[in-house]
Amino acid sequence: MKHIAEFNEGEHIREIFLCKGVSSAVTKNGKEYMNVTLLDKTGQIEGKIWEPNDSGIDDFSKQDYVEVTADVNLWNNTKQLNIKRIRVAREGEYDPAEYLPVSPRNNDEMYKELLAVIDSVKDPHYNALLKKFFVEDEALVKRFRNCSAAKTVHHGFVGGLMQHTLGVAGVCDYLSKNYPVLNRDLLITAALCHDIAKTKEFTPFPENDYSDDGQLLGHIVMGSEMVGMAASEIEGFPDIKKTQLQHCILAHHGKYEYGSPKLPSLVEAMALNLADECDSKLEIFTEMFEANSEKKGQWLGNKRFLNDTNVRSTIVPD
Amino acid sequence: MKHIAEFNEGEHIREIFLCKGVSSAVTKNGKEYMNVTLLDKTGQIEGKIWEPNDSGIDDFSKQDYVEVTADVNLWNNTKQLNIKRIRVAREGEYDPAEYLPVSPRNNDEMYKELLAVIDSVKDPHYNALLKKFFVEDEALVKRFRNCSAAKTVHHGFVGGLMQHTLGVAGVCDYLSKNYPVLNRDLLITAALCHDIAKTKEFTPFPENDYSDDGQLLGHIVMGSEMVGMAASEIEGFPDIKKTQLQHCILAHHGKYEYGSPKLPSLVEAMALNLADECDSKLEIFTEMFEANSEKKGQWLGNKRFLNDTNVRSTIVPD
Amino acid sequence: MKHIAEFNEGEHIREIFLCKGVSSAVTKNGKEYMNVTLLDKTGQIEGKIWEPNDSGIDDFSKQDYVEVTADVNLWNNTKQLNIKRIRVAREGEYDPAEYLPVSPRNNDEMYKELLAVIDSVKDPHYNALLKKFFVEDEALVKRFRNCSAAKTVHHGFVGGLMQHTLGVAGVCDYLSKNYPVLNRDLLITAALCHDIAKTKEFTPFPENDYSDDGQLLGHIVMGSEMVGMAASEIEGFPDIKKTQLQHCILAHHGKYEYGSPKLPSLVEAMALNLADECDSKLEIFTEMFEANSEKKGQWLGNKRFLNDTNVRSTIVPD
Amino acid sequence: MKHIAEFNEGEHIREIFLCKGVSSAVTKNGKEYMNVTLLDKTGQIEGKIWEPNDSGIDDFSKQDYVEVTADVNLWNNTKQLNIKRIRVAREGEYDPAEYLPVSPRNNDEMYKELLAVIDSVKDPHYNALLKKFFVEDEALVKRFRNCSAAKTVHHGFVGGLMQHTLGVAGVCDYLSKNYPVLNRDLLITAALCHDIAKTKEFTPFPENDYSDDGQLLGHIVMGSEMVGMAASEIEGFPDIKKTQLQHCILAHHGKYEYGSPKLPSLVEAMALNLADECDSKLEIFTEMFEANSEKKGQWLGNKRFLNDTNVRSTIVPD
Amino acid sequence: MKHIAEFNEGEHIREIFLCKGVSSAVTKNGKEYMNVTLLDKTGQIEGKIWEPNDSGIDDFSKQDYVEVTADVNLWNNTKQLNIKRIRVAREGEYDPAEYLPVSPRNNDEMYKELLAVIDSVKDPHYNALLKKFFVEDEALVKRFRNCSAAKTVHHGFVGGLMQHTLGVAGVCDYLSKNYPVLNRDLLITAALCHDIAKTKEFTPFPENDYSDDGQLLGHIVMGSEMVGMAASEIEGFPDIKKTQLQHCILAHHGKYEYGSPKLPSLVEAMALNLADECDSKLEIFTEMFEANSEKKGQWLGNKRFLNDTNVRSTIVPD
Amino acid sequence: MKHIAEFNEGEHIREIFLCKGVSSAVTKNGKEYMNVTLLDKTGQIEGKIWEPNDSGIDDFSKQDYVEVTADVNLWNNTKQLNIKRIRVAREGEYDPAEYLPVSPRNNDEMYKELLAVIDSVKDPHYNALLKKFFVEDEALVKRFRNCSAAKTVHHGFVGGLMQHTLGVAGVCDYLSKNYPVLNRDLLITAALCHDIAKTKEFTPFPENDYSDDGQLLGHIVMGSEMVGMAASEIEGFPDIKKTQLQHCILAHHGKYEYGSPKLPSLVEAMALNLADECDSKLEIFTEMFEANSEKKGQWLGNKRFLNDTNVRSTIVPD
């Protein structure tokens, strides 16, 4: 694959891009054409389709992966594509990692691990609820697998939400095995669902920004509502199980000022809050050190999400 | 009506009480009998039913209004009723104001006023939603009309929730007429629904205490969920209207530390928060001055819900 | 009227400007001349008076409205006026709205409304005090009518203080009619006086900046002092009425951290604080939406005076 | 002088007391008599005047020092005085220290020291202001010399305000001699006036409680107002000096939450705040250690005015 | 073993007690005797040694376990021991669990587990430091094994400090295995040492109260100092390793207001803080539910160390 | 002395500079040479040593004061030194004030004053401790005398730490003379030692930045540790004196959020905190007014270390 950053004037290319935007326009002479914005992980480039009705020009839309056949021109000192053919690419023809930030962990493997965790939940109602979300609702599964866990703070990449969910569930699993006070089925179910409404709070990649519902309602309340609605559709789901699960989700930020409308009243809600903090803060450090790998052992400045503390990686003397 | 506080030993009485509790017991000799706790607004008294199987002893349960025929005895220096007959009283036979703290405003008149406010909401979706709650759902209407607005802080009496709701809507109406920036239909609808889930947060009178759902979820989140579910059952209710209404409910406490998971992002949410504060704080003062009417012009001590400030009523010199 | 932004080189103009500054200078040849800075709402322009002693050059000073007869020249690529005649303009010859940001409400009408509100205060002492400030003290009336209610946050325009004062009094009037616990005469008097010392906290337009007294003492304390002094000059003004009115002013910001040295101890002080918040916050939204009228329905970013919340106007779907 | 704690039944006494209260009453037989409450520093005792019209019973009232001739009786196991003669005592006949908590420092000496500090202020306006308060206004001088500096926290005794004022002025004097950045005349004047309105905030001994003005306005704002009024009565007192002095008083608590409506903007305001803290906190420790002199070297528990810290006196090993 | 709560008047007993206090006294006749306070886990009892010089009366002191031979008498309606013989008991003759609150985990097993964790630390310097504390310093080992982790909040029993230390190390082990960003040797070493100075902050059982050093310096600073001193005695211990370990200890409370003078700047310090919170909060819940085992599923009231939240255990419906 | 800012191309100079950096390099032709960065208080200049092995080129290193003989050349429009001779200068040949920001007070005089304060401490253990630090440990004395008291906030110059230490000790001396509750020897010793670890927290001038130990441990904890170690090396130093002194150092910032792990529990700790605030805040004002001497009487804007208050110097009217 040749990347956008490597294109030269006069070249003829045939590559797959992610389409970030498309719109119709009209030339001064009244002729219709199309403006297309294409990107890969090295940058983005504008393209023109001067003959939209040509047979090589298939239907496509924003956020499709498209295979483009084009010439590279120069317009006002900027490279531009003159597009001859365009068609939607099929899954498998491209690797999303070439277009968007993606989790370092394999998406399919993470999903398999998720299914295994679900299987370990023995309570029939919680198990049914988890399958309803993560197996039966295919649209949700797709959004969940592609969603980030945050805009920028941590896990801000495709698969980030699933990776974070598994990380939190892992800590919860450790805690429930070592502290018998915890109800494992409730805790694991809450861990898997705690951020599920981030699929609604953020718009899909490549935008990955707050949606209107995200701004006005937030993932905490929407997550509680999703759980409430799903439980009401499961035969015989006990009210008290539903309420306790919703409470864990509502309280999982642990403090009012972080947007939780209730503080943890159940030990599982508190454990979930701690597990969430463990995974997110360790990931913040991990990403920060990776982004500054050349500064090993140096101070990296004050970090907003780490109490405005000046941080640095551990120095290991020889 | 003769009140509990006026009973004398040896009297024979036939009065209607509110039954606060009932339980079965067995005498030392193995004979079954019943303990009943009865109250009116002047106090409460224990009663014994020594012959539970008598024909005059009808079925009844906790929180029923019951007509009791009994003798007043003395047991260990305490008055007690020896109950001969007991039956559930019908609505109309008694005046709840004799048994429970009630709003100074007439319940029927307040409900009429509520319906008039609903009529003034012209938006068809919001109007339909309000009718769904306050007209069509009879069980909800009954709970709403009898509910308090709080356990103790303000409006802690039967009809208190309706009185507070009308007070808030009144301020909102004034504001929307004087500040054109406000969308009146959204604001009035939000005002009428803002505390609707207090019908779930509190158990019914005479208990009037936090329910499990109240403790674990709270009326803010439950209110948003009620609105969400009702809107989903109304044909053609636009998503954006639903989300904006839910936002107003979620943000109406104005601050994270008061349990709002979102701060007001819409001008209507902010106006609702201010109207809510106006009505509740003025009612706190009103109730406090009434409860201390003999201390007019004196200092009443620090009040927790008024910033721990030492307060007093205004002194008007002649 | 032709505005500064429309002047062209070589034109001869005769217009009224607001004089923002004037100073004497001496040419290299020892000849005295004057530099004048003139503005209208479209911008400002420098002028030169080369013959200060000409008969057409009247006395005038900074902040006067002046009628200027001049030629438009070009100096270093910048337009400049060569002033032939200048004289102070009379009230009525010009419309301040052409020179400074002004309230959308008519100044005379607002003042009439203010007088009507004063008439509605029946308590003779409070009524006398209000007349002393708003009728008898002409210098104060003039400053009050021209003052803004803030430097930038809200009502930052000529007439803004009067508009805000009327808005607050309006809410207080509504509250006192609906909540009998309130002493209307005290509350309305406090509403009309609550920001009166903003006439001292801010320097007059066009500067409209904090004065030294504003920085060192603030309008809250100065307002209390003004009320105290005025009351002491009114025959028989009862001490307790004076103290209660001063308390309302001192406590009207509602919290220590907003500069109130006392928290509301009287119900009228608390009502004033709420009414102040209603009018100022609704005005903040109103001005913000007007300034962003092209972004209807979009998010406007975090706003410092609205709890750093991301706000937007309501979206009204069809 | 024989003290109340030493009275025995059957004794005849003639002593001076502070009259804490007096009221008329009527016996079952319709005969009028008087109840009098008398105190000295060892306790208090009730007295009866059975013949209010006797020639030996002079006029007197609450808070007078009275010479009483009486018999000590026993009534219901409690000692009581049967009062035969009573008259108001003259200043000089008694030592207030025998009746009320008083400063360990001599009142006349402190006042002399105060006058010396005033003499050291060379600025003619500030000097005139200080003399107006502390020399010319005899009623104020009397109240000032007898006032406490607080209800209970520190210096809660007769002369406490003067002792505290001198302590603060002493620290200010040290600072102004060692830090040339300070304007000594402004700082010393502010130190002497900073708590002057405590004479209005507290009612006189033996009550020593918050007055209505104290509750509603507070000594900070009243002190600023007193300074403003006094300055306005001094010929040629420059506005800027008045404003700066008022600012120092307004800001001397250093933080909004301690009731200062302005934070220190002048270096003298900040120095005054620090000197005030030095003197008051060291006095808190001094009084606490004296009150617990038997616990030398032990922990004294958490103290509210010392950050809720567990405190103790230094242990000095041999 | 017969417990104090089961003693009856007239019995002759021979049991082992913990001696809580002992003092000499003299009878009215000038005869010397001894007062002894004895306790077991069921209560405490006073004893008298009337013949201190008898051969059966061995030397012993406060906090010894003593075997006592005595008669049970009644004195002023209170049981009392007339002690005939007393001697210090040997370890092994008694089970501390009968005298003091002890950890539910076996002390020897926990210590073995601790040694195994130490062995897993491969860094030679950290390993040497841990052995210096937990193996070589026998006095410290003894104090550490018997110390609680807190006065009352959590782990307030013998062995509590060791149990908490292992719990924290367990979470740290899980995290270091799952988050490669962590330096395991540093983290585990910090986990084992983080509360080591609680052995100095608390006096030994049965007192278990804050020592003077605990009040004045605290376990955080003393722990850092202990690590610093120990490292300085180990040949070739690198400065940077010492500083990083001290930082983890100083920062392990995570916030200034919890007494940490530094916020976590190293990822290991942050992980230690989270692990500490996990173990201590889950233990708080565990102990609270055990203490209220009869209230399963009920609300237990607001808990100070859980954000003043009303908490309860999970209800598991059948 | 000719300063860097005055150098002209072509000049031959021989001056003493502070060497800020030195490194070896190799020309394109493989010839070794040296780059040297030199500074005085007027700026800095690059120098080249083309013949590092010449006899005139002595050994020297970073942070040495060096006498340089060189020609001033122009390279790429920038002045540069072609260095012919270089040698380390001896103390006395140069005045550090020409190279670095220095205290306005003479260093030797301050040190003499320090010794006099030490002599006034009569307690033999505290006196010995002070001599150990400030007389016997010559390396520490040197660092202490050259250290600043802060990076930028106040006393950010050579000698600043000593000047601040004396200022704090001065206030403490005044307080201990006027408030007998204070133990002078403890307080003065604490004052002299309170910031002693700033010698470790900051790297030496000209860098004067946080060291790693400063970032990870801080001067509060390191100061406590230094005192603890020194006391342990003094024969017979009582534990309680050591602990109390360490407590004063740990608590001297007065609040958790300023990095004190303990709040003042001893009156001397509280006095030290107040004295520290007096000296540092007055110095902040002093330096701020000096840096803005041309703005006398103007507002200087909000200052972060003065509560974000807008400050200005006192206006002294004539």
Q: What is the pLDDT of residues F132-188, one digit of tens each?
A: 999 999 999 999 999 999 887 678 888 999 999 999 999 999 999 999 999 999 999
Mean pLDDT (chain A, rounded): 91
Task: Report CA torsion sign: F98, F100, F105, F107.
Answer: negative
In angstroms, what is the C-alpha Rg of chain D? 23
Residues C27-53: what's their mean pLDDT? 88
Name residue, tokens 């200080």: D130
B271, B277, B278, B282 alpha-carbon torsion, rounded to 10°: 170
Q: Which two tokens stand for residue B2?
A: 């003769």
User: What confidence tier does C285 reach under pLDDT thresholds 50, 70, 90?
Assistant: very high
Interatomic CA distance for residues D204 and D20, integer angstroms: 12
* C201-256 pLDDT tens trace: 999 887 788 999 999 999 999 999 999 999 999 999 999 999 999 999 999 999 99
Asked if the model's pLDDT at residue B230 lies above 90, the reply is yes
Give yes or no for a contact between B1 and B97, defined as CB atoms under 8 angstroms apart: no
Residues E203-209: what's their mean pLDDT? 83
Interatomic CA distance for residues F173 and F117, integer angstroms: 9
C202-211, E289-298, E302-311, F35-44, range with the lowest pLDDT = E302-311
Whole-number pLDDT of residue A307 = 72
* D160-176 pLDDT tens trace: 999 999 999 999 999 99
Question: Which residue of D265, D296, D306 to mutate against F (max F Cβ within 10 Å)?
Answer: D265
> CB D56: neighbour CB atoms within 10 A?
12
Residues B302-314: what's their mean pLDDT? 80
For E125, name the nearest residue in chain A, comparing CA atoms only: A317
Residue F211, SS3?
coil
- Record: contact F171-D167, CB cut-off 8 A: no
Question: Which residue of D213, D215, D217 to mutate against C (max C Cβ within 10 Å)?
Answer: D217
Are D and F neighbours with ≥3 CB pairs closer than 8 A? yes
Burial (0-12, 13-18, 19+ Cβ within 10 Å), C33: middle
C-alpha distance from B70 to closest chain C C-alpha (Å): 44
Interatomic CA distance for residues F218 and F207, integer angstroms: 18
Chain F CB contacts of D274 below 8 Å: 274, 277-278, 281
Mean pLDDT (chain F, rounded): 91
User: What confidence tier does C98 reach under pLDDT thresholds 50, 70, 90?
Assistant: confident
Q: Which of B314-318, D178-182, E36-40 has maximum average pLDDT?
A: D178-182
Whole-number pLDDT of residue F316 = 60
Asked if E181 has any chain A CB less than 8 Å from its own CB, the reply is yes
Asked if the model's pLDDT at residue F259 lies above 90, the reply is yes
* A164-191 pLDDT tens trace: 999 999 999 999 999 999 999 999 999 9
C-alpha distance from B190 to closest chain A C-alpha (Å): 14
What one-letter code names the amino acid at E131?
K
Whole-number pLDDT of residue E315 = 67
Asked if the model's pLDDT at residue D314 lies above 80, the reply is no
Asked if D300 has any chain F CB less than 8 Å from its own CB, the reply is no
Interatomic CA distance for residues F252 and F271, integer angstroms: 9
Output the DSSP codes for F2-19. --GGG--TT-EEEEEEEE
Q: Which two tokens stand for residue C276?
A: 């102040």
Q: What is the DSSP letter of A133?
A: I
- Who among B183, B277, B315 is closest to C314 (CB)? B183
**Chain E 213-232, residues with CB within 8 Å of chain F CB atoms:** 213, 215-218, 220-221, 224-225, 228-229
- Neighboring chains of E (3 or more beta-carbon pairs < 8 A): A, F
Whole-number pLDDT of residue E316 = 59
Whole-number pLDDT of residue B302 = 81
Strand segments, DSSP code E, in chain D are 12-26, 32-40, 43-49, 65-75, 78-88, 299-303, 309-312
Residues A75-103: what's their mean pLDDT? 89
Q: Which two tokens stand for residue D136?
A: 């010319």
Q: What share of chain F is helix, strand, coil (3-state, %, to 5)?
A: 45, 20, 35
- Who among C170, C175, C314 is closest to B267 (CB)? C314
> CB F163: neighbour CB atoms within 10 A?
23
For A308, name the nearest residue in chain E, comparing CA atoms only: E263
Of E198, E202, E189, E196, the residue nearest E272 (C-alpha): E189
Interatomic CA distance for residues C313 and C286, integer angstroms: 10
Asked if the model's pLDDT at residue A315 lies above 70, the reply is no
Chain C CB contacts of B309 below 8 Å: 263-265
Residue with the bigger pLDDT between E92 and F253: it is F253
Name residue, tokens 């965790």: A117
Give yes or no for a contact between A266 and A244, defined as CB atoms under 8 angstroms apart: yes
Contact residues for A69 (Cβ-Cβ < 8 A; gap 6+): A12, A13, A14, A56, A83, A84, A85, A86
- Neighboring chains of D (3 or more beta-carbon pairs < 8 A): C, F
* A134-169 pLDDT tens trace: 999 999 999 999 999 988 767 888 899 999 999 999
Task: Report CA torsion sign: C228, C229, C232, C233.
Answer: negative
- Record: contact C215-D265, CB cut-off 8 A: yes
Interatomic CA distance for residues A101 and A206, integer angstroms: 9
Whole-number pLDDT of residue B293 = 80
Interatomic CA distance for residues D126 and D130, integer angstroms: 6
User: What confidence tier does A44 reach under pLDDT thresholds 50, 70, 90?
Assistant: confident
Q: Which two tokens stand for residue A301?
A: 């400045």
- Record: contact D257-C256, CB cut-off 8 A: yes
Of D147, D145, D168, the residue nearest D156 (C-alpha): D147
B139-143, C155-159, E68-72, range with the lowest pLDDT = C155-159
Q: How many residues does chain C have?
A: 318
User: What confidence tier does E44 reach under pLDDT thresholds 50, 70, 90?
Assistant: confident
Give yes or no for a contact between A209 and A152, defined as CB atoms under 8 angstroms apart: no
Whole-number pLDDT of residue C317 = 57
C-alpha distance from F139 to closest chain E C-alpha (Å): 19
Q: Which two tokens stand for residue D107?
A: 């009142």
Mean pLDDT (chain D, rounded): 91
Question: Which residue of A179, A262, A287 to mutate against E (max E Cβ within 10 Å)?
Answer: A179
Start-to-end CA span in chain A (Å): 42
Q: Look up the pTM and report it.
A: 0.86
> CB A223: neighbour CB atoms within 10 A?
26
Interatomic CA distance for residues E109 and E111, integer angstroms: 5
- Who among C178, C238, C286 is closest to B179 (CB)? C286
Whole-number pLDDT of residue D316 = 62
Mean pLDDT (chain C, rounded): 91
Chain B CB contacts of C306 below 8 Å: 264, 270
Asked if F173 has any chain D CB less than 8 Å from its own CB, the reply is no
Give yes or no for a contact between E81 and E68, defined as CB atoms under 8 angstroms apart: yes
Whole-number pLDDT of residue C315 = 65
- Record: contact A250-B217, CB cut-off 8 A: yes
Whole-number pLDDT of residue D318 = 52
D210, D211, D213, D214 alpha-carbon torsion, rounded to 10°: -10
Whole-number pLDDT of residue E62 = 84
- Record: contact C225-D225, CB cut-off 8 A: yes
Output the DSSP codes for chain C. ---GGG--TT-EEEEEEEEEEEEEEE-TTS-EEEEEEEEETTEEEEEEES-TTSTTB----TT-EEEEEEEEEEETTEEEEEEEEEEEPPTTSS-GGGTS-B-SS-HHHHHHHHHHHHHT---HHHHHHHHIIIII-HHHHHHHHH--S-SSSS--SBTHHHHHHHHHHHHHHHHHHH-TTS-HHHHHHHHHHTTTTHHHHBPPTTT--B-HHHHHTHHHHHHHHHHHHHHHTSTT--HHHHHHHHHHHHTTT-SGGGT-SS---SHHHHHHHHHHHHHHHHHHHHHHHHHTGGGTTSEEEEEGGGTTEEEEPPP---
- Record: contact C261-D220, CB cut-off 8 A: yes
Whole-number pLDDT of residue F255 = 94
Of A130, A133, A156, A161, the residue nearest A145 (C-alpha): A161
Q: Which two tokens stand for residue B228?
A: 């969400």
* A264-297 pLDDT tens trace: 999 999 999 999 999 999 999 998 888 887 777 7
Give yes or no for a contact between D161 and D150, defined as CB atoms under 8 angstroms apart: no
For F313, name the nearest residue in chain D, comparing CA atoms only: D266
> CB C10: neighbour CB atoms within 10 A?
9
Asked if F285 has any chain D CB less than 8 Å from its own CB, the reply is yes
Burial (0-12, 13-18, 19+ Cβ within 10 Å), F39: middle
Helix axes D267-291, D239-250, angle to 10 degrees: 40
Burial (0-12, 13-18, 19+ Cβ within 10 Å), A55: exposed
- Record: contact C274-B274, CB cut-off 8 A: yes
* E156-199 pLDDT tens trace: 888 999 999 999 999 999 999 999 999 999 999 999 999 999 99
* F266-309 pLDDT tens trace: 999 999 999 999 999 999 999 888 888 777 778 888 887 777 78
Asked if C211 has any chain D CB less than 8 Å from its own CB, the reply is no
* F98-130 pLDDT tens trace: 888 888 899 999 999 999 999 999 999 999 999
For E310, name the nearest residue in chain A, comparing CA atoms only: A265
Task: Answer whether the bond into residue B206 is a cis peptide, omega within 30°.
Answer: yes
Are F and B neighbours with ≥3 CB pairs closer than 8 A? no
- Record: contact B225-A220, CB cut-off 8 A: no
A180, A184, A186, A192 alpha-carbon torsion, rounded to 10°: 140
Task: Answer whether the bond into residue A206 is a cis peptide, omega within 30°.
Answer: yes
Helix axes D239-250, C218-232, angle to 10 degrees: 110
Of F175, F174, F153, the residue nearest F164 (C-alpha): F153
Chain F CB contacts of D278 below 8 Å: 175, 271, 274, 278
